Amino acid sequence: MAKRPAAKADKKTFYITTPIYYASGALHIGHCYTTVCCDAIARFKRMDGYDVYYLTGTDEHGQKVQQAAEERGMSPQAFVDSLAERIKALWTRMDISNDGFIRTTDKAHEKAIADIFTKLYEKGDIYKSEYVGKYCEPCESFWTESQLVDGKCPDCGRPVKETKEECYFFRLGKYADRLKKLLTETDFLQPDSRVKEMVNNFIDKGLSDLAVTRTSFDWGIKVPFDPKHVIYVWIDALPNYITALGYGADGENFSKYWPCDMHVMAKEIVRFHSIVWPAILMALDIPVPKRVYGHGWIMFDGDKMSKSKGNVVDPFILTDRYGVDALRYFLLRAMPFGDDMQYSNELLLSSINNDIVNDLGNLVRRTFAMSRQYFGGAVKKPAADKLGGGDKKFIAEIDGLAAAVRADMDRPLVSKALERIFGLIDSANKYIDANKPWALIKTDTDRLNTVMYVLLDAIRVSANLLLPFLTAYPRRIFDGLGLPVPEDLSACAFGKVDAYKTTEIEPILNRLDIKKELSELEAIAAGTDKPDKPGRSDKPDADKDKAGAPEQISIDEFFKTELRVVKIEECVKVEKSNKLLKLTVFDGERRRTIVSGIAHCYAPEDVIGKNAALVANLKPAKLCGIVSEGMLLCSVGADGKPKLVEPKGEAGEKIC
Ligand code: ME8
C-alpha cells in the first residue's frame, strides 16, 4: 500500500474506486472479487501509461457497525480499528495495489462531510421534516411502500420496519430530469441492463426526497448545526470518493484525478452510485463520474454470498492453501463481468487444475525444460526467413493480443481479457503438439531453435499481459526467461528479445487432488479439522499474516488475563440499543459497571443475582456513551446465542 512516486505531468490520469466496505465483519471472496477486478484494471492502466489512482477503504459509521460492535462488547471505534486492520491485511494478502485507503472515521473525511452537509443545507438542497415509512436496518435504507418487493427490502429481501422520526431530507427529486438524461443519454452507467432497472424502478416511479439523518443511534458524523442528528451512512460514505482526494482540504489530488473514471461495485448498490451520488455532486456543482460499473454477484447455494447470511468463503484460507495467484485467477476469470456466478469449491479447484496447472503451468514447465534439455537454455532469435506459415499464423496471434486485451479492459471485460490471454496459452500448447520438438531434436536443430524461440516469446508476451492479473507467477516466468520484469506493455509483440537464457523455476502449483481438497475444505468449514496445506509455491509467509486464523498465544500471555467470579446486582437495558444491557456487578472489592451485548437473549430480571465470569483487567471501553469496566464471558450455542458463563464460588474469587 505504499505511495507510488509522483507521476509525470504529461500522463493521462485514471481514477478507479471500489465501494468502501462496511467494517462490520470479516470480508469474503465477494469483496475480493470487486477489489481484485479493480486491481487488475488499475495495474493494466498503469502498465499502459496512465497515472492511476486506485482507492478503496472502509465504511465505518452507522447502526449496523454500532450493533456489530455491541454484539462483541467492544466500543465502535475499537471495533472498526481492528476491522480496518484486518481488511488492510486482506488487501496485502491479495496483492492489491491501491494508492489510497480511506476510512470514514478519518478526521479529514468527517470534517469534509460535515462541511458538505452544511453547504447543501445552506443552499436549500437539504431541509428538515419528518420521515414516516419503511426502514431496512441491515441496508440502512428508507423505502416507500411502492419500492418494496413482496413487502420486503428490494435490495436484500429482508423484512422492513415501520419507522417515524424527525429528520433532514435531501432534495433528490429536484434532480430527477438531469439524472434521467445522464442515465439514458450517456454511457455513465454500465452494463446497459442496469440503466433500465434504475430508470424504470426508481426515476420513472418518482424520485422521493431522501432522508439523510438519523436520531435512533449516535455512531456517525453529527449534523454540525443540529447534533442530535447523525448524518445518514450513505451521505457519509458516497463522498469518500472526493474526500479521499482532498476535496474541501488541500484538493491537489482532487483537481488532478476528479472526475472519477470508474466506480466499480455490485448491482445492489448501483442505485446509490448512479442516482444518489450524481445528484449530490450536481447539488455541489461538481462534475459527475465518467462511469459507474455494476457487476454481478458471487452466489453461494443460490443466494448472494453475504456477511450477514453467514455463507461466506474465507479468502485467507483459500489463499493459504492455493496461493494468491490461483484465487485472483479464479475470481477474474470465472465470473463474466456483469453477470452472476454460482460459487463452489469444486469450480475453484477444477479451474485451478485445468487452467493454472494444466494449461499455463504445463506450457511453461515443458517449454523451459525442453529449452534446457536441447540447448542448455540458450535460444536465439531466428532470422525472419526461417519462419514458416504455421509460425506466422501463431505470431499474428501473439502480436494481436495486447490490443485486444486493451479493448476488453477499457469496457471493462476483465474475464474476457484473461480468457484471451489463456487463448494464446492454449495455442502455444497446440503449437508444441503440432511442431513436436522431441522429434526435431533428432532431425533439424535449426528448426528446433525457431520453434523454441516462438514458444518462449509467446510465454513472454502472455506473462507480460498477465502481470496485472496474477502478481507472483508471471514475475517468476521473467526470472526463468532471464529477463527483467517489464513495467509496461511496450514489448508485447513478437521478436523483441534477441536471445533467451532460461533457468528452472518453481511450478505455479502442483496438481490438486480435488476429492481430497473438497473434503478438507468441508472439514475446515465445519471447523472440525485444520489439515496441512497442499504443496504450492507462491504462498505468502503464513506466519507473517495470521489475520485469517486465530493467533496462538503462549501460556504466559493467557495468564495476563485476570478472570474473576462476580455477582450481578443490578441490570437495566441500554436506551437506543437492542443488544446492550448495563449491569452492576460486585467483584469482591468494588462495584463495577459492565455493558454487555446480551439483551437479545436475557431480560434484565433474568440475570440479577447470577454469578458471572468477568475479564477484570480489560481496558475500559465506552459503549453507547457508558464506560464498561470489563467483559462478561459467554458460551455461544449452536443457535449463535450467547449464554452467560455462571461459575460457582464467591464474588472476587479468581478463575484459573
Ligand atoms: O455496501 N458478490 O458495503 P459492503 C460480488 N459500505 N460482490 C460482492 C459480494 C458478492 N457476493 N458481496 C460483496 C457497502 N460484494 C457500502 C458501500 S460505497 C460508498 C458504500 C462487494 O461491505 C460488491 O462490490 O456491503 C458490493 O457492492 C460490496 O462488496 C458491498 O460491500
- Tens digits of per-residue pLDDT, 617-639? 888 877 777 888 999 998 875 55
Distance 31 CA to ligand 1 centre (A): 6
User: pLDDT tens for residues 35-75?
Assistant: 999 999 999 999 999 999 999 999 999 988 998 898 888 99
Q: Which of 108-122, 372-386, 484-498, 566-580 is predicted least confidently? A: 566-580
The dihedral region occupied by 641, where left means phi > 0, alpha psi between -120 and 50, and beta the remainder, is beta
Burial of 359 (C-beta count, 10 Å sphere; 0-12/13-18/19+): middle
Distance 552 CA to ligand 1 centre (A): 31
Write down the pLDDT at residue 302.
Answer: 66
Does the structure show a pLDDT above 80 at 215?
Answer: yes
Distance 474 CA to ligand 1 centre (A): 29
Does the structure show a pLDDT above 70 at 655?
Answer: yes
Write down the pLDDT at residue 540.
Answer: 35
Q: Which residue has the higher pLDDT, 181 or 576?
A: 181
Residue 100's contacts (CB-CB under 8 Å, 6 or more residues apart) are 53, 54, 55, 56, 57, 244, 245
Distance 413 CA to ligand 1 centre (A): 19
Write down the pLDDT at residue 305.
Answer: 61
Q: Which of 136-150, 508-522, 582-596 is predicted least confidently? A: 136-150
Does ligand 1 come within 6 angstroms of the Cβ of 269?
A: yes
Residue 1's pLDDT band (cuts 50, 70, 90): very low
Range with the largest mean pLDDT of 86-100, 311-325, 567-581: 86-100
Write down the pLDDT at residue 337.
Answer: 74
Residue 534's pLDDT band (cuts 50, 70, 90): low
Does ligand 1 come within 6 angstroms of the Cβ of 266?
A: yes
266 CA closest ligand 1 atom index:
27
Residue nearest to atom 19 of ligand 1 (CA): 238
Does ligand 1 come within 6 angstroms of the Cβ of 304?
A: yes
Q: Which residue has the higher pLDDT, 491 or 552?
A: 491
Distance 524 CA to ligand 1 centre (A): 25
Residue 535's pLDDT band (cuts 50, 70, 90): very low
Evaluate whether 599 touches 581 at the Cβ level (below 8 Å): yes
Write down the pLDDT at residue 306.
Answer: 57
Q: Measured between alpha carbons, how far is 244 from 103 in angstroms, rounded to an integer?
A: 9
Overall average pLDDT of the 333-354 stretch: 89
Q: Which residue has the higher pLDDT, 642 or 644?
A: 644
Residue-level length of the chain:
656
Overall average pLDDT of the 222-229 stretch: 97
Residue 632's contacts (CB-CB under 8 Å, 6 or more residues apart) are 73, 566, 583, 585, 594, 596, 598, 612, 613, 614, 615, 644, 645
Kindly report the average pLDDT of the chain as a whole number: 89
- Range list of H helices, 186-323: 192-198, 233-237, 240-243, 252-257, 270-271, 277-283, 315-322
Write down the pLDDT at residue 557.
Answer: 67
Write down the pLDDT at residue 10.
Answer: 75
Write down the pLDDT at residue 527.
Answer: 65
Overall average pLDDT of the 219-227 stretch: 97
Residue nearest to atom 31 of ligand 1 (CA): 21
Write down the pLDDT at residue 304.
Answer: 63
Residue nearest to atom 18 of ligand 1 (CA): 19
Q: Which residue has the higher pLDDT, 528 or 104?
A: 104
Does ligand 1 come within 6 angstroms of the Cβ of 565?
A: no
Cell numbers linked to 115 = 462541511
Evaluate whether 308 touches 138 at the Cβ level (below 8 Å): yes
**Strand pairing class (126-136; 161-170):** antiparallel
User: pLDDT tens for residues 591-619?
Assistant: 899 989 888 888 898 899 999 999 998 88
Q: Which residue has the higher pLDDT, 133 or 570?
A: 570
**Planar angle of CA 342, 344, 345, nearest 5 degrees:** 155
SS3 193: helix
Residue nearest to atom 23 of ligand 1 (CA): 266
